Every structure is written in structure tokens, then in C-alpha cells.
Chain A
Amino acid sequence: AQTVTQSQPEMSVQEAETVTLSCTYDTSENNYYLFWYKQPPSRQMILVIRQEAYKQQNATENRFSVNFQKAAKSFSLKISDSQLGDTAMYFCAFMKHVLGYGQNFVFGPGTRLSVLP
């Protein structure tokens, strides 16, 4: 079974600085997808960034980028120029690709990020 671990339950960062959230996962699969989702106090789940395992290039979305290390099964999220609106729970998620249908959606326990003014 796949597992996703986020070893940092809580983190804080000063506004405008950079912070990295860690995520590791365990799988024997070779074809899968990884995601970072953000859940602000409103509790709405928002996709931050997505990475296909077969792509070597790290995904980037504006101030958000990932460091995907497939061999190490590591998928960290870097937030640059942190903003107060980045305060939220961040969940790392794994999705296995099977015969055109996704199965085994697994979320990590989350990291609570606080951006301080």
C-alpha cells in the first residue's frame, strides 16, 4: 500500500521569505502523480501544483515549485516570497495510474503553515 508522510506538522515563515515543506512517499509503482493541495481556514481544498512521475523536470507554478526526487521518493514544496494568504494547511497527495483510471488516492497528514507579518 502507498503511504505519504509529511514530517513537519507545523511551520512558520516571515512574510516575503522562502519556506520548504517536505513530503516523502512509499510506493513500488513506477507510474503515478503527486500533488500539493492547500486548505485555508475556509476549508476549501485548492490544488497548488502537480507533478507527473515520468517527468524529470520539476513543476513550477508562479511562486510555488517542487523538488521531485524520484529515487529518494521525495516531493518537497518550495514557496517563495511568502504572502499572508499562503497561511493554510498543505497536503501532499499521491495518485497511482492504473489502466487509465486513477486508484489509490492517498493524502499525507498535512503541514500547518503560518505566514507571519
Chain B
Amino acid sequence: NAGVMQNPRHLVRRRGQEARLRCSPMKGHSHVYWYRQLPEEGLKFMVYLQKENIIDESGMPKERFSAEFPKEGPSILRIQQVVRGDSAAYFCASSRDRWYDEQFFGPGTRLTVL
């Protein structure tokens, strides 16, 4: 059973471009979580999704950021018109059924905005 997959592992964008980060949860997992980690800081919760539904987006910036988890395919975290402050590692995690089941983390996507 493959773990949580994230791609790309590294993404470089220029200011103003769009960034799309993909997360494929573990097989059988229907809950997906996105976190952002700035250098030398802990993880900051962004959004929690269950298939086709956003359950909690309290950690997501109101503008330029959006997330989806369609019925088929990976979860996507989309950042429009990126700025230098968006440079960070973005981690995705998934869990099976109940939200408090163990979250399995992906390897992260490191976004660099030039």
C-alpha cells in the first residue's frame, strides 16, 4: 500500500504565476489535510477536506488560495498569483475514516517563489 503521494516535490514559480500542488491520499483514505511549514517553524493547518467537501478551511488565506478533493483524482491545493511569502513546504496528510485516526503525511512539496 503506497503512502501519501505528493507532486511535484519541488516547484519553482515566479511572482504572479500559479502553483498547483497535488496530493494522492493513501488507498482507502477519504480525509485529506493540507499544512504549510515555513522555515524553522511548525506546521500550520490550512484546510481539511473529505471527498468533494471542504470541512474546515479556517487556516486558509481568504484570497489566492483554494483547495479541492474531487470524487476522482488527487486533492489539489491551488495558489494563484504567488508572492515570495508563499515560499514554504506544503504537506498533505490523509486519514482513513474518522478524523482522529492517525494522519499519514506525504513527503511535502517545497515551493520556491522567485
Query: Closest approach, in angstroms, between the C-beta of A58 and any C-beta of chain B?
Result: 18
- Residues of A contacting B35 with CB < 8 Å? 105, 107
B69 at the interface (CB under 8 A from A): no
Contact A102 B102 (CB under 8 A): no
Which residues of A come within 8 Å of B, CB atoms?
A: 33, 42-47, 50, 91, 93, 95, 97, 100-110
* Interface of chain A: mostly helix, strand, loop or mixed: strand
List 8 additional contacts besides A45-B105, A46-B105, A109-B42; criterion CB under 8 Å: A44-B107, A93-B43, A97-B100, A100-B99, A105-B33, A105-B48, A105-B59, A107-B42
Contact B48 A110 (CB under 8 A): no
Which residues of B come within 8 Å of A, CB atoms?
A: 33, 35, 41-45, 48, 55-56, 58-59, 89, 91, 93, 98-100, 102-103, 105, 107-108
Contact B89 A43 (CB under 8 A): yes
Contact B91 A45 (CB under 8 A): yes
**CA–CA, A42 to B43, complex, Å?**
15
| Contact (A33, B45) CB under 8 Å given A43-B107, A45-B105, A103-B56 | no
- Residues of B contacting A105 with CB < 8 Å? 33, 35, 45, 48, 59
Query: Closest approach, in angstroms, between the C-beta of B57 and any C-beta of chain A?
Result: 10
Query: Closest approach, in angstroms, between the C-beta of B9 and any C-beta of chain A?
Result: 10
**CA–CA, A110 to B53, complex, Å?**
31
| Contact (A103, B100) CB under 8 Å given A45-B105, A91-B43 | no
